[in-house]
Amino acid sequence: MDEGQDLSPQALKYLSTFFGKVDAFVVEAQGEQTLVKWLHALRNGREPANIPNLALFNTHGKIFFTSREKESLHMDDTAISWNRIPREYLRKTLPVNTSRGCSYRCRFCTYHWLFPEVHFKSLDVLREELLQLQELEFVKHIRFTDDNFTANRPRLQSVLNMMIQEQFDFTWSSFARASALTPDLVKLMKRSGCEFVDMGIESGSQIILDNMQKRLKREQSLDAIRILNDHGIYGRGSFIIGFPGETQETFSETIDLINSSGLPYYHPYLFYYSRNTLIHKERDRFGLTGLGLAWRHNTMDAVEASHLMSQMSHLIHEGFTDGQTYIEEIYKLLRGDGYSPQQILELFSLKRELQLTLQGSDSAPPFSQDTEQIFNQLEAVIK
C-alpha cells in the first residue's frame, strides 16, 4: 500500500471492500508510533484523519490515505514490558525482537527498501527484557524474530554469552544465515539454549543462488546443516521454487541437497513476483512477466513450479514439511506445550507417512491396517 492514492484503480477498489471490516490500515515500515497515535485518537474521540501514515475510509466506503511521516524509533524503545501484560494474554512460548533490517540484497526480497539499515537493541535492554520473561516463571521457549539473528557476529557472541551468564531456563529458536554458522558459533548457540534455527537456503542449485544474488554457496549450506546436526540443533531450510532460471534440473538439485544433507525440516515457497523486488529490474533478461503468484519466465511458469512443489513430499524421504503452514510456528508452540524436539520430529514424520498412505487408499473409514497403525503411533505421541 506504499503507493497510496497512486495505486491502480483496481487495487483501490479492492481495498475499499474492507470497509466495515477494517477500521484503518497503518502504512509505514515500522508503524508502532502511528498505531499508538491512532489508538489515542480513538480513546479520546479525536479525528484520525489528521494522523500521518493511515489508510482510512470515508462515509461512502472509499479508501483514502493521510499524509506520510517516516517513523524513527530506536530499537531500545521497542522492548516489551512483559511484566505489565495480563497472564491470560501470554503463552509459554513468546517472541522477542532484538534487531530490524537486513544487510543483504537478495533479488527475490522486498525487505531491502522497507529497512535498508540494520538496527540493534542494546545488550542491557535485551538482558532486562529476557530477565522479565525469566521472572514470569512459565515461559519455556523464546522465538527471536529478527530477520537475521546471526547478522552481526561480535554482537551475537555478546548476546549468547550474556544468556549463558544469566542461565535462563527457556530454550530458543531464530532465523540464521547458513554462511554465518561455524562450529565455534554453533557450539556457543547450543550452550545458550538454542535448539532450532531457520535458514534461507532458497535453492540447491548454484545457478539459481547466483541468479538470486544470494551470496551463498551450496557447500556453505551443506556445511551449516552438518554443523547443526553435529551439535543437536534442528534446522529448517526454506526454498523458493520457480525463481527465474529454474528448470527441472535445478529443482532436482534442491531435492538432492535436502535428501543428502540430513536437513530435518524444509519449507517450499512458490516464487512471488513483485515489482518492488530487485529481480523486477532484470525482468527482460529472464523474460519475466505476470505478477504475484501468476507469472512465467524463459524456463518455467507458475503452474509447472506449483506441480514440482506438490511432488516434494514424495521425493524427499528424510526431511519433513507441513505444507504451507510454518514449521517454526508449530515447533515453538509445541515446545511451549511440553513436547520435546524429538517428539516434534516424530509427529512430522508420522504426518508424512499418514499423508502418503491416505493418498494411496480410501481416506474415509474404515481405514487400512497401515493407516490405523499410524493413528495409534500418533496417539502415543500426542499428549
Q: What is the pLDDT of residue 363?
A: 65
Q: What phi, psi does 56 have (nearest 5°)?
A: -125, 175
Q: What is the pLDDT of residue 332?
A: 86
Taking only the tens place, the pLDDT of each residue in 111-140 is 777 777 889 999 999 999 999 999 999 999
Q: What phi, psi does 195 have (nearest 5°)?
A: -140, 0
Distance, C-alpha 178 to centroid of its chain: 15
Taking only the tens place, the pLDDT of each residue in 184-216 is 999 999 999 999 999 999 999 999 999 999 999
Q: What is the pLDDT of residue 275?
A: 86
Average pLDDT over residues 338-365: 86
**Could you tell me the three cell numbers for 226?**
552438518
Q: What is the mean pLDDT of the chain?
A: 93
Place of cell 474415509: 364
Half-sphere exposure of 357 (CA within 13 A, CB side): 16
* Residue 149 reports pLDDT greater than 90: yes
Q: What is the pLDDT of residue 225?
A: 98
Strands (E), the chain: 25-26, 54-57, 63-65, 93-96, 99-100, 119-120, 141-144, 171-176, 194-202, 234-241, 265-270, 289-291, 294-296
Q: Shortest CA distance to 317 belongs to which of 359, 277, 348?
A: 348
Q: What is the pLDDT of residue 324?
A: 63
Taking only the tens place, the pLDDT of each residue in 299-319 is 999 999 999 999 999 999 889
Structural element, H or E, at residue 269: strand 265-270
Q: What is the pLDDT of residue 54?
A: 97
Contact in structure between 28 and 14 (CB atoms under 8 Å): no
